[in-house]
Structure 1
Amino acid sequence: MAAILEDGKLRLSGYVGDYYFEDGFTSGDVVMALAQIDDADPLTVFLNSGGGIATEGAAIHALLSARKGKTDIVIEGVAASAASLIAMAGKKVTMSAGAVMMIHDPSGYTAGTSDDHKKAIEALEALATAYARVYAMKSGKTAEDCRAIMKEERWLTPPEAVSEGFADATTETAAEPVAAFDYRIFAHAPTALVDLAKQKNWSMSTKPAAPAASTRPAEEPSMTDKERAEQLAAENAKLKTDLAAATASVDTAVKADRERRAAIMGLEEAKGRETLAEHLFNTGSSVDQAKATLAVSPKAGATDEKEEEEFQPRRMNAQGLNKTPLNTKPGDKATARAVLSASVDRLNKRR
Structure 2
Amino acid sequence: MTVQVKGQKVTLSGTVGDDWFGDGFTHANVVAALAGLDGDITVYLNSGGGIASEGAAIYSALATYDGRVDIVIEGIAASAASLIAMAGETVTMSDGAVMMIHDPMNITVGNSAEHAKTIEELEAYAKSYAKIYAKKSGKTANDCRDIMKAETWFDGDQAVEAGFADESGASKARPVAAYDYRAYAHAPKGFVAQAKAKDWSIAKYVNHDNKPLTAASVAKEEDMTDKERADALAAELATLKAEKAKIEADFATASASAAQATADALKADRDRRAAIMALPEAKGREVLAEVLFADGANVEKAKAFLGAAPEAVAPSTTAEDYEKARLAGADLGNGGKSEDKKASWASAVSRANKRNGKK
Which TM class, normalised by the smaller chain length? 0.5 to 0.7
* Deviation, structure 1 residue 200: 2.5
Which of the residues 146, 149, 152 maps onto 1:151? 149
Quote how far apart the aligned CAs of 1:225 are.
5.5
Q: Report the CA distance shift for 1:67/1:193 in structure 2 as closer, same or farther (over 3 A).
A: same
Q: Which residue of structure 1 aligns with residue 102 of structure 2? A: 104
- AA matched with 1:74: V
SS in 2 for 1:47: strand
Equivalence map 1:162-173=2 (5 Å): 162-173=160-171
Say if 1:205 and 1:111 are closer, same or farther in 2 by CA, change over 3 A: closer
In the alignment, what sits opposite 1:227?
A: 243
Change (3 A) 1:25 1:166: same
1:100 counterpart letter in structure 2:
V
Alignment of 1:78-93 (within 5 A): 78-93=76-91
The runs of 5 or more residues in structure 1 that have no matched partner are: 234-351
- Is residue 95–residue 169 contact of structure 2 (8 Å, CA) maintained in 1? yes
Say if 2:52 is the partner of 1:54.
yes
Sequence identity percentage: 55
**1:65, 1:225 → 2: CA distance?**
21
CA contact (8 A) 1:54 1:216 kept: no
| Contact map agreement 2:206 2:212 (CA 8 A) in 1 | no
Kindly indicate which of the two structures has a greater share of residues assigned to helix: 2
Instruction: Tell me which of the two structures has the higher relative contact order, counting C-alpha pairs closer than 8 angstroms and 6 or more residues apart.
Output: 1
Counterpart of 1:206 in 2: which secondary structure? helix
Structure 1 position 112, deviation (Å): 3.3
In the alignment, what sits opposite 2:30? 30
Alignment RMSD (CA, Å):
2.4
The aligned counterpart of 1:14 is: 14
User: C-alpha deviations, 1:236-292, integer Å up to 9, x for none?
Assistant: xxxxxxxxxxxxxxxxxxxxxxxxxxxxxxxxxxxxxxxxxxxxxxxxxxxxxxxxx
Q: Aligned with 2:136: secondary structure?
A: helix
Question: What's the secondary structure of 2:201's corresponding residue?
Answer: coil
> What residue is the counterpart of 1:273 in the other structure?
none
Deviation, structure 1 residue 179: 0.4
1:111-168 Cα deviation digits (max 9, x unpaired): 3332222121111111000000000000000000000000000010000000000000
**Alpha-carbon distance in 2 for matches of 1:204, 1:133:** 28
Change (3 A) 1:149 1:94: same
One-letter amino acid of the structure 2 residue matched with residue 45 of structure 1: V
Q: Deviations over 1:329-351 (max 9, x none)?
A: xxxxxxxxxxxxxxxxxxxxxxx
CA contact (8 A) 2:21 2:200 kept: no
Shift of 1:5: 0.9
The aligned amino acid for 1:196 is: Q
- For the 8 Å contact 1:53–1:215, the answer to whether it is kept is no
User: Matched residues in 2 for 1:155 and 1:109: separation?
Assistant: 22
| Structure 2 CA distance for aligned equivalents of residues 93 and 48 of structure 1 | 13
C-alpha distance in structure 2 between counterparts of 1:113 and 1:197, whole Å: 31
Residues 57, 243 of structure 2: 8 Å contact kept: no
Change (3 A) 1:223 1:125: farther
2-structure distance, mates of 1:113, 1:184:
26
Q: Please state how far the C-alpha of 1:223 moved relative to its aligned partner.
A: 4.1
CA contact (8 A) 1:55 1:215 kept: no
Question: Which of residues 148, 163, 180 is equivalent to 1:182?
Answer: 180
Are the equivalent residues in 2 in contact too, given 1:102–1:154 (CA < 8 A)?
A: yes
1:192 and 2:208 correspond: no
Q: 2:272 aligns to what?
A: none
Contact 2:19–2:25, Cα closer than 8 Å, also in 1:
no
Q: How many aligned residue pairs are there?
A: 227
Aligned partner of 2:98: which letter?
Answer: V
Superposition pairs for residues 135-146 of structure 1, below 5 Å? Answer: 135-146=133-144
Q: Deviations over 1:6-64 (max 9, x none)?
A: 110100000001273342100000011011112xx001000000000000000000000
**8 Å contact 2:136–2:163 — kept in the other structure?**
yes
What do the CA deviations read for 1:177-208 (whole angstroms, capped 9, x no partner)?
Answer: 11011111110001121122223332234333
Could you tell me which amino acid in structure 2 is paired with residue 26 of structure 1?
T
Q: Which digits, 9 at most, give the CA deviation of each residue in 1:72-117, with x for residues without a partner?
A: 0000110000000000000000000000000000011233332222
TM-score (norm. length: structure 2): 0.59
Which one-letter code corresponds to 1:3 in the other structure?
A: V
Aligned letter for 1:51?
G
List alignment gaps of at least 5 residues for structure 2.
Answer: 214-231, 250-359
1:155 and 1:215 map into 2 onto residues whose CA distance is 27
Structure 2 counterpart of 1:120, which letter? T
